[in-house]
Amino acid sequence: MTKHIFLFAAIATMVSCSNEPKGSSNTDDQKNDSTTAEAQAKINRYGDTISTDGAMDMAAFAAATADKDSLPATLNCEIITSCTKKGCWMDVKMADGTPMKVTFKDYGFFVPTAGLEGKKAVVKGYAVKEVTDVATLRHYAEDAGKSKEECEKITEAESNWSFVADGVVITD
């Protein structure tokens, strides 16, 4: 009989704890429930876990690389587009509006193939100024969904910055 009373009391306690009325005040939940837009933004992480602290904006990146051909960096940038086939690269906007290709270390992770346009990202890795050949430029254009005619219009190599990211944080 004592066992039954104890069992009944335990069940009654569990049921009463799980049936807290909606809208009731719970101070622990209130501490974790921020109402700022910044706190409500969705954060998506890809690759290595990186910190967004100290990320330089693209104007600072341009200044830091003025007399260099490479630089390890953490950059705060805006996404222009991503690979529509696998998400194996994305273009981010340089300070002058031109794109910088971001690829992912060892082809080890991917980002979404759509819906990134205009979103903010922090990328950590290594930037290199390089010449991209025509075949690679056409491949990137094809991955971006460009028509065969648009791809064939690419006839010259380009000198530009590229970035190999160890990790990426994208904010919705």
**Per-residue tokens: 24:** 């009731």
Query: Is 74 exposed, middle or buried (CB count within 10 Å of its CB: 0-12, 13-18, 19+)?
Result: buried
For residue 3, pLDDT over 80 is answered with no
**pLDDT tens-digit readout, 30-52:** 334 444 555 557 999 999 999 99
Task: Note the pLDDT of residue 39.
Answer: 55
φ and ψ of 117, to 5 deg: -55, 125
**Per-residue tokens: 69:** 């051909």
For the chain, the 3-state helix, strand and coil shares in percent, each to the nearest 5, are 30, 35, 35
Task: Note the pLDDT of residue 30.
Answer: 36
Distance in angstroms (rounded) separating the CA atoms of residues 54 and 60: 11
**Per-residue tokens: 158:** 């380009």
Average pLDDT over residues 107-133: 95
For residue 20, pLDDT over 60 is answered with no
- Walk me through the domains of the chain, giving residue ranges and CATH numbers: 35-171 (2.40.50)
The mean pLDDT value of the chain amounts to 82
DSSP 115: S
Average pLDDT over residues 106-130: 96
Q: What is the pTM of this model?
A: 0.70
Average pLDDT over residues 68-82: 97
DSSP 152: H
For residue 163, pLDDT over 70 is answered with yes
For residue 23, pLDDT over 50 is answered with no
Between 35 and 25, the higher pLDDT residue: 35
**Per-residue tokens: 129:** 């100024």
